[in-house]
Structure 1
Amino acid sequence: MKSYDWGVQVANRHDAKNTEEFIYRAAVELMAARGYHGTTLRDVARAVGLQMSSIYYYFPSKQELLLAIMRRTMRDLRAFVEPPISAEGSFRARLTAGIRAHVLFHADRRLETLVTDSEIRALEGENRDEIIALRDAYSGLFLEVLEAGRRAGDFTFSDAHVATNALMTMCAGVAVWYQPEGRLSLPQIAEEFTRLYIRGVAASPAQPE
Protein backbone atom coordinates (compact mmCIF):
# COMPACT_ATOMS: atom_id res chain seq x y z
CA MET A 1 0.00 0.00 0.00
CA LYS A 2 1.10 3.55 -0.66
CA SER A 3 1.54 5.67 2.46
CA TYR A 4 -0.71 8.70 2.85
CA ASP A 5 1.08 10.21 5.84
CA TRP A 6 1.92 13.23 3.71
CA GLY A 7 3.61 16.53 3.94
CA VAL A 8 2.15 19.14 1.61
CA GLN A 9 4.22 19.34 -1.58
CA VAL A 10 4.59 23.09 -1.89
CA ALA A 11 6.57 23.00 -5.09
CA ASN A 12 3.65 21.49 -6.99
CA ARG A 13 0.77 23.06 -5.12
CA HIS A 14 -0.38 25.24 -8.01
CA ASP A 15 -0.79 22.37 -10.47
CA ALA A 16 -4.50 22.73 -11.25
CA LYS A 17 -4.99 19.00 -11.73
CA ASN A 18 -3.73 18.33 -8.23
CA THR A 19 -5.21 21.29 -6.37
CA GLU A 20 -8.15 19.38 -4.91
CA GLU A 21 -5.84 16.60 -3.76
CA PHE A 22 -3.45 19.06 -2.08
CA ILE A 23 -6.37 20.67 -0.27
CA TYR A 24 -7.51 17.23 0.86
CA ARG A 25 -4.04 16.27 2.09
CA ALA A 26 -3.53 19.52 3.96
CA ALA A 27 -6.94 19.20 5.64
CA VAL A 28 -6.16 15.63 6.72
CA GLU A 29 -2.88 16.68 8.32
CA LEU A 30 -4.36 19.72 10.04
CA MET A 31 -7.46 17.95 11.35
CA ALA A 32 -5.41 15.00 12.58
CA ALA A 33 -3.17 17.38 14.51
CA ARG A 34 -5.68 20.02 15.67
CA GLY A 35 -9.08 18.37 15.38
CA TYR A 36 -11.99 19.48 13.22
CA HIS A 37 -12.99 22.41 15.42
CA GLY A 38 -9.38 23.54 15.76
CA THR A 39 -8.91 23.72 12.00
CA THR A 40 -10.30 26.49 9.79
CA LEU A 41 -10.60 26.65 6.04
CA ARG A 42 -8.26 29.61 6.22
CA ASP A 43 -5.66 27.31 7.81
CA VAL A 44 -6.10 24.88 4.93
CA ALA A 45 -5.87 27.65 2.34
CA ARG A 46 -2.69 28.95 3.95
CA ALA A 47 -1.14 25.48 3.99
CA VAL A 48 -1.53 25.08 0.23
CA GLY A 49 -0.94 28.73 -0.68
CA LEU A 50 -4.41 29.41 -2.03
CA GLN A 51 -7.01 32.11 -1.60
CA MET A 52 -10.18 31.23 0.32
CA SER A 53 -12.21 31.55 -2.88
CA SER A 54 -10.19 28.71 -4.40
CA ILE A 55 -10.95 26.45 -1.43
CA TYR A 56 -14.67 27.15 -1.78
CA TYR A 57 -14.52 26.14 -5.45
CA TYR A 58 -13.54 22.60 -4.45
CA PHE A 59 -15.16 22.34 -1.02
CA PRO A 60 -18.09 24.69 -0.26
CA SER A 61 -17.62 24.35 3.50
CA LYS A 62 -15.42 22.78 6.15
CA GLN A 63 -18.23 20.29 6.78
CA GLU A 64 -18.08 19.19 3.13
CA LEU A 65 -14.32 18.80 3.40
CA LEU A 66 -14.64 16.59 6.48
CA LEU A 67 -17.32 14.55 4.75
CA ALA A 68 -15.05 14.06 1.73
CA ILE A 69 -12.26 12.77 3.97
CA MET A 70 -14.56 10.30 5.69
CA ARG A 71 -16.22 9.13 2.48
CA ARG A 72 -12.91 8.39 0.82
CA THR A 73 -11.46 6.72 3.89
CA MET A 74 -14.47 4.46 4.43
CA ARG A 75 -14.67 3.62 0.72
CA ASP A 76 -11.00 2.71 0.52
CA LEU A 77 -11.06 0.82 3.82
CA ARG A 78 -13.89 -1.39 2.67
CA ALA A 79 -12.29 -1.93 -0.74
CA PHE A 80 -9.08 -3.08 0.96
CA VAL A 81 -10.63 -5.32 3.62
CA GLU A 82 -13.65 -6.86 1.91
CA PRO A 83 -11.78 -9.13 -0.56
CA PRO A 84 -9.69 -10.97 2.08
CA ILE A 85 -12.48 -11.27 4.64
CA SER A 86 -14.92 -12.50 1.98
CA ALA A 87 -12.56 -14.98 0.33
CA GLU A 88 -13.05 -18.73 0.38
CA GLY A 89 -11.76 -20.44 3.49
CA SER A 90 -12.59 -21.26 7.07
CA PHE A 91 -14.14 -18.64 9.32
CA ARG A 92 -10.89 -18.39 11.25
CA ALA A 93 -8.91 -17.82 8.07
CA ARG A 94 -11.35 -15.17 6.86
CA LEU A 95 -11.40 -13.37 10.20
CA THR A 96 -7.60 -13.48 10.42
CA ALA A 97 -7.26 -12.03 6.92
CA GLY A 98 -9.79 -9.31 7.70
CA ILE A 99 -8.04 -8.27 10.91
CA ARG A 100 -4.67 -8.11 9.18
CA ALA A 101 -6.05 -5.94 6.41
CA HIS A 102 -7.86 -3.69 8.88
CA VAL A 103 -4.68 -3.12 10.91
CA LEU A 104 -2.53 -2.57 7.84
CA PHE A 105 -4.92 0.04 6.47
CA HIS A 106 -5.23 1.90 9.77
CA ALA A 107 -1.46 2.11 10.16
CA ASP A 108 -0.70 3.00 6.55
CA ARG A 109 -3.49 5.59 6.26
CA ARG A 110 -3.17 6.63 9.88
CA LEU A 111 -4.00 10.34 9.57
CA GLU A 112 -7.15 9.73 7.53
CA THR A 113 -8.35 7.00 9.86
CA LEU A 114 -7.60 9.17 12.90
CA VAL A 115 -9.81 11.92 11.50
CA THR A 116 -12.52 9.48 10.43
CA ASP A 117 -12.60 7.63 13.75
CA SER A 118 -12.36 10.65 16.05
CA GLU A 119 -14.32 13.39 14.29
CA ILE A 120 -17.57 11.63 13.45
CA ARG A 121 -19.10 13.63 16.29
CA ALA A 122 -18.41 16.79 14.27
CA LEU A 123 -20.62 15.68 11.37
CA GLU A 124 -24.03 17.25 11.08
CA GLY A 125 -27.43 15.77 10.28
CA GLU A 126 -27.52 13.68 7.12
CA ASN A 127 -23.74 13.75 6.82
CA ARG A 128 -23.43 11.95 10.14
CA ASP A 129 -26.15 9.47 9.18
CA GLU A 130 -24.31 8.69 5.93
CA ILE A 131 -20.97 7.98 7.55
CA ILE A 132 -22.50 5.96 10.38
CA ALA A 133 -24.26 3.84 7.76
CA LEU A 134 -20.95 3.28 5.94
CA ARG A 135 -19.25 2.43 9.23
CA ASP A 136 -21.98 -0.02 10.22
CA ALA A 137 -21.91 -1.69 6.81
CA TYR A 138 -18.16 -2.09 7.12
CA SER A 139 -18.22 -3.54 10.63
CA GLY A 140 -20.97 -5.83 9.36
CA LEU A 141 -18.33 -7.69 7.35
CA PHE A 142 -16.73 -8.79 10.62
CA LEU A 143 -20.05 -9.31 12.39
CA GLU A 144 -21.17 -11.75 9.69
CA VAL A 145 -18.01 -13.84 9.94
CA LEU A 146 -18.11 -13.88 13.73
CA GLU A 147 -21.76 -14.94 13.86
CA ALA A 148 -21.29 -17.62 11.21
CA GLY A 149 -18.15 -18.87 12.93
CA ARG A 150 -19.97 -19.13 16.24
CA ARG A 151 -22.78 -21.14 14.64
CA ALA A 152 -20.17 -23.45 13.14
CA GLY A 153 -18.51 -23.91 16.53
CA ASP A 154 -15.29 -22.12 15.58
CA PHE A 155 -15.81 -19.12 17.86
CA THR A 156 -17.22 -18.65 21.32
CA PHE A 157 -18.50 -15.38 22.81
CA SER A 158 -21.69 -14.11 24.38
CA ASP A 159 -22.65 -11.29 22.01
CA ALA A 160 -21.49 -10.85 18.41
CA HIS A 161 -22.05 -7.09 18.43
CA VAL A 162 -19.87 -6.65 21.51
CA ALA A 163 -17.21 -8.90 19.97
CA THR A 164 -17.29 -6.85 16.76
CA ASN A 165 -17.15 -3.49 18.53
CA ALA A 166 -14.24 -4.69 20.66
CA LEU A 167 -12.38 -5.75 17.53
CA MET A 168 -13.00 -2.43 15.75
CA THR A 169 -11.85 -0.42 18.75
CA MET A 170 -8.76 -2.54 19.40
CA CYS A 171 -7.53 -2.51 15.83
CA ALA A 172 -8.30 1.14 15.12
CA GLY A 173 -5.98 2.15 17.96
CA VAL A 174 -2.92 1.25 15.88
CA ALA A 175 -3.39 4.53 13.99
CA VAL A 176 -2.72 6.42 17.23
CA TRP A 177 0.63 4.92 18.16
CA TYR A 178 2.13 3.19 15.10
CA GLN A 179 5.46 4.61 13.92
CA PRO A 180 7.22 3.23 10.80
CA GLU A 181 10.59 3.42 12.57
CA GLY A 182 9.30 1.48 15.58
CA ARG A 183 10.62 -1.78 17.02
CA LEU A 184 8.18 -4.03 15.13
CA SER A 185 7.35 -3.97 11.45
CA LEU A 186 3.77 -3.32 10.38
CA PRO A 187 3.24 -6.97 9.27
CA GLN A 188 4.52 -8.11 12.68
CA ILE A 189 2.10 -5.78 14.44
CA ALA A 190 -0.79 -6.99 12.29
CA GLU A 191 0.14 -10.59 13.06
CA GLU A 192 0.18 -9.90 16.80
CA PHE A 193 -3.26 -8.29 16.64
CA THR A 194 -4.67 -11.34 14.89
CA ARG A 195 -3.15 -13.69 17.47
CA LEU A 196 -4.55 -11.70 20.38
CA TYR A 197 -8.05 -11.49 18.99
CA ILE A 198 -8.37 -14.96 17.46
CA ARG A 199 -7.16 -16.57 20.67
CA GLY A 200 -9.77 -14.56 22.55
CA VAL A 201 -12.73 -15.75 20.49
CA ALA A 202 -11.51 -19.19 19.40
CA ALA A 203 -13.51 -22.15 20.61
CA SER A 204 -10.22 -24.08 20.88
CA PRO A 205 -6.60 -22.97 21.40
CA ALA A 206 -5.67 -23.53 17.75
CA GLN A 207 -3.48 -20.90 16.11
CA PRO A 208 -5.01 -18.41 13.61
CA GLU A 209 -4.71 -19.54 10.02
Structure 2
Amino acid sequence: MKLILSVALLALAPAFVLAQDLPKKPVKATAKAAHKPTSSRIQLKTAAKNVAAGIEAAEAALTPAEMAIAERVQVGSVPCEFGTTVTLVADAKYPGYFNVQVKNLKYRMFPVETSTGAIRLEDQKAGAVWLQLGNKSMLMNQKLGQRLADECMSPQQVAVAESLKLHPAQSVLNAPAPLPAQAISQPVLQPEVAAK
Protein backbone atom coordinates (compact mmCIF):
# COMPACT_ATOMS: atom_id res chain seq x y z
CA MET A 1 0.00 0.00 0.00
CA LYS A 2 2.80 2.38 0.93
CA LEU A 3 4.66 1.56 -2.27
CA ILE A 4 1.60 2.15 -4.45
CA LEU A 5 0.93 5.53 -2.85
CA SER A 6 4.58 6.56 -3.18
CA VAL A 7 4.70 5.59 -6.86
CA ALA A 8 1.46 7.46 -7.55
CA LEU A 9 2.80 10.61 -5.93
CA LEU A 10 6.06 10.38 -7.87
CA ALA A 11 4.10 9.91 -11.09
CA LEU A 12 2.13 13.09 -10.37
CA ALA A 13 5.25 15.21 -9.80
CA PRO A 14 5.75 16.01 -13.52
CA ALA A 15 2.11 17.09 -13.75
CA PHE A 16 2.75 19.71 -11.07
CA VAL A 17 5.66 21.08 -13.08
CA LEU A 18 3.76 21.12 -16.39
CA ALA A 19 0.70 22.77 -14.86
CA GLN A 20 2.62 25.92 -13.99
CA ASP A 21 1.85 29.24 -15.66
CA LEU A 22 5.01 30.23 -17.46
CA PRO A 23 5.68 33.97 -17.90
CA LYS A 24 4.59 35.24 -21.33
CA LYS A 25 7.28 37.90 -21.57
CA PRO A 26 10.95 37.20 -20.97
CA VAL A 27 12.15 38.68 -17.71
CA LYS A 28 14.92 41.26 -17.98
CA ALA A 29 18.04 40.20 -16.20
CA THR A 30 18.64 42.77 -13.49
CA ALA A 31 20.37 42.52 -10.17
CA LYS A 32 17.03 42.33 -8.36
CA ALA A 33 15.56 39.73 -10.75
CA ALA A 34 18.62 37.50 -10.36
CA HIS A 35 18.14 37.33 -6.58
CA LYS A 36 14.34 37.15 -6.56
CA PRO A 37 12.93 33.74 -7.49
CA THR A 38 10.33 33.78 -10.24
CA SER A 39 6.82 32.57 -9.61
CA SER A 40 7.49 29.38 -11.60
CA ARG A 41 10.43 28.53 -9.34
CA ILE A 42 8.29 29.10 -6.27
CA GLN A 43 5.55 26.88 -7.73
CA LEU A 44 8.11 24.20 -8.56
CA LYS A 45 9.50 24.27 -5.01
CA THR A 46 6.00 24.14 -3.57
CA ALA A 47 5.08 21.19 -5.79
CA ALA A 48 8.26 19.36 -4.78
CA LYS A 49 7.52 19.96 -1.09
CA ASN A 50 3.96 18.66 -1.55
CA VAL A 51 5.20 15.50 -3.27
CA ALA A 52 7.82 14.95 -0.55
CA ALA A 53 5.17 15.44 2.15
CA GLY A 54 2.92 12.91 0.38
CA ILE A 55 5.71 10.35 0.19
CA GLU A 56 6.52 10.90 3.87
CA ALA A 57 2.86 10.43 4.79
CA ALA A 58 2.69 7.24 2.71
CA GLU A 59 5.75 5.84 4.45
CA ALA A 60 4.33 6.77 7.86
CA ALA A 61 1.05 4.96 7.21
CA LEU A 62 0.90 1.57 8.90
CA THR A 63 -1.12 -1.47 7.89
CA PRO A 64 -3.98 -2.67 10.13
CA ALA A 65 -1.81 -5.61 11.27
CA GLU A 66 1.01 -3.24 12.25
CA MET A 67 -1.46 -1.02 14.12
CA ALA A 68 -2.73 -4.08 16.02
CA ILE A 69 0.86 -4.83 17.05
CA ALA A 70 1.37 -1.20 18.14
CA GLU A 71 -1.64 -1.43 20.46
CA ARG A 72 0.09 -4.26 22.40
CA VAL A 73 3.37 -2.39 22.98
CA GLN A 74 3.96 -1.62 26.65
CA VAL A 75 5.04 2.02 27.03
CA GLY A 76 6.78 3.80 29.89
CA SER A 77 10.12 3.39 31.63
CA VAL A 78 11.16 -0.25 31.73
CA PRO A 79 13.97 -1.28 34.11
CA CYS A 80 16.60 -3.65 32.69
CA GLU A 81 19.61 -5.55 33.98
CA PHE A 82 22.71 -3.62 35.16
CA GLY A 83 20.56 -0.63 36.16
CA THR A 84 19.73 0.35 32.58
CA THR A 85 16.31 1.84 31.82
CA VAL A 86 14.60 1.90 28.43
CA THR A 87 11.85 4.48 27.91
CA LEU A 88 9.15 3.91 25.30
CA VAL A 89 6.79 6.76 24.40
CA ALA A 90 4.01 6.53 21.81
CA ASP A 91 4.27 9.26 19.15
CA ALA A 92 1.11 11.39 19.41
CA LYS A 93 1.50 12.83 15.90
CA TYR A 94 1.99 9.48 14.13
CA PRO A 95 -0.07 6.65 15.70
CA GLY A 96 1.79 3.35 15.78
CA TYR A 97 5.24 4.95 15.99
CA PHE A 98 7.31 5.00 19.19
CA ASN A 99 10.23 7.02 20.51
CA VAL A 100 12.62 4.69 22.34
CA GLN A 101 15.49 5.93 24.48
CA VAL A 102 18.25 4.16 26.39
CA LYS A 103 21.04 6.21 27.96
CA ASN A 104 21.91 8.88 25.36
CA LEU A 105 20.63 6.87 22.37
CA LYS A 106 17.26 7.74 20.79
CA TYR A 107 15.36 5.74 18.21
CA ARG A 108 12.13 6.22 16.27
CA MET A 109 10.54 2.81 15.86
CA PHE A 110 7.53 1.25 14.19
CA PRO A 111 5.99 -2.24 14.52
CA VAL A 112 6.98 -5.10 12.24
CA GLU A 113 5.04 -8.35 11.82
CA THR A 114 6.76 -11.54 13.03
CA SER A 115 6.01 -15.21 12.46
CA THR A 116 6.40 -15.99 16.18
CA GLY A 117 3.92 -13.44 17.49
CA ALA A 118 6.61 -11.53 19.41
CA ILE A 119 6.22 -7.76 19.39
CA ARG A 120 9.00 -6.25 17.30
CA LEU A 121 9.74 -2.56 16.80
CA GLU A 122 12.42 -1.40 14.37
CA ASP A 123 14.41 1.71 13.52
CA GLN A 124 15.74 0.62 10.15
CA LYS A 125 18.05 3.61 9.70
CA ALA A 126 19.85 3.04 12.99
CA GLY A 127 19.55 -0.76 12.88
CA ALA A 128 17.88 -0.88 16.31
CA VAL A 129 15.29 -3.51 17.28
CA TRP A 130 13.05 -3.71 20.37
CA LEU A 131 11.71 -7.21 21.08
CA GLN A 132 8.90 -7.57 23.59
CA LEU A 133 8.09 -11.10 24.77
CA GLY A 134 5.63 -12.16 27.44
CA ASN A 135 8.23 -12.31 30.20
CA LYS A 136 10.95 -9.85 29.11
CA SER A 137 12.07 -7.35 26.48
CA MET A 138 15.41 -6.44 24.93
CA LEU A 139 16.90 -3.67 22.80
CA MET A 140 19.44 -4.68 20.18
CA ASN A 141 21.59 -2.91 17.60
CA GLN A 142 21.72 -5.22 14.61
CA LYS A 143 24.34 -3.14 12.79
CA LEU A 144 26.78 -3.52 15.68
CA GLY A 145 25.57 -7.02 16.58
CA GLN A 146 25.07 -6.25 20.27
CA ARG A 147 22.39 -6.00 22.90
CA LEU A 148 21.97 -2.50 24.27
CA ALA A 149 19.58 -3.58 27.05
CA ASP A 150 18.49 -7.05 28.17
CA GLU A 151 16.18 -8.55 30.78
CA CYS A 152 13.91 -5.50 30.60
CA MET A 153 10.68 -6.17 32.49
CA SER A 154 7.53 -4.10 32.86
CA PRO A 155 5.25 -4.96 35.81
CA GLN A 156 3.13 -7.17 33.50
CA GLN A 157 6.23 -9.03 32.32
CA VAL A 158 7.41 -9.56 35.90
CA ALA A 159 4.05 -11.23 36.67
CA VAL A 160 4.40 -13.51 33.63
CA ALA A 161 8.01 -14.41 34.60
CA GLU A 162 6.91 -15.30 38.15
CA SER A 163 4.08 -17.43 36.77
CA LEU A 164 6.52 -19.27 34.50
CA LYS A 165 8.75 -20.02 37.50
CA LEU A 166 5.83 -21.64 39.34
CA HIS A 167 4.32 -23.33 36.27
CA PRO A 168 7.00 -23.77 33.61
CA ALA A 169 5.92 -24.33 30.03
CA GLN A 170 6.34 -27.85 28.66
CA SER A 171 9.60 -28.23 26.76
CA VAL A 172 9.48 -29.23 23.12
CA LEU A 173 12.24 -31.72 23.95
CA ASN A 174 10.02 -33.71 26.31
CA ALA A 175 8.78 -37.13 25.20
CA PRO A 176 5.74 -36.92 22.94
CA ALA A 177 2.37 -37.76 24.41
CA PRO A 178 1.38 -41.45 24.03
CA LEU A 179 -0.90 -42.33 21.14
CA PRO A 180 -4.57 -43.07 21.88
CA ALA A 181 -5.43 -46.75 22.50
CA GLN A 182 -7.40 -47.03 19.22
CA ALA A 183 -4.41 -46.07 17.10
CA ILE A 184 -2.21 -48.67 18.80
CA SER A 185 -4.74 -51.56 18.59
CA GLN A 186 -5.27 -51.25 14.80
CA PRO A 187 -2.68 -53.18 12.78
CA VAL A 188 -0.60 -51.34 10.23
CA LEU A 189 -0.35 -53.18 6.92
CA GLN A 190 3.01 -53.39 5.28
CA PRO A 191 3.10 -52.30 1.59
CA GLU A 192 3.85 -55.85 0.39
CA VAL A 193 1.07 -57.35 2.53
CA ALA A 194 -1.45 -54.79 1.26
CA ALA A 195 -0.56 -55.64 -2.37
CA LYS A 196 -1.42 -59.38 -1.93
Query: What's the TM-score, normalizing by structure 2?
Result: 0.30
- Choose 1 or 2 for highest CA Rg: 2
Hey, which of these two has a bigger chunk of helix by percent? 1
- Whose RCO is larger (CA < 8 A, sep 6+)? 1
Hey, which of these two has a bigger chunk of strand by percent? 2
Query: What's the TM-score, normalizing by structure 1?
Result: 0.29
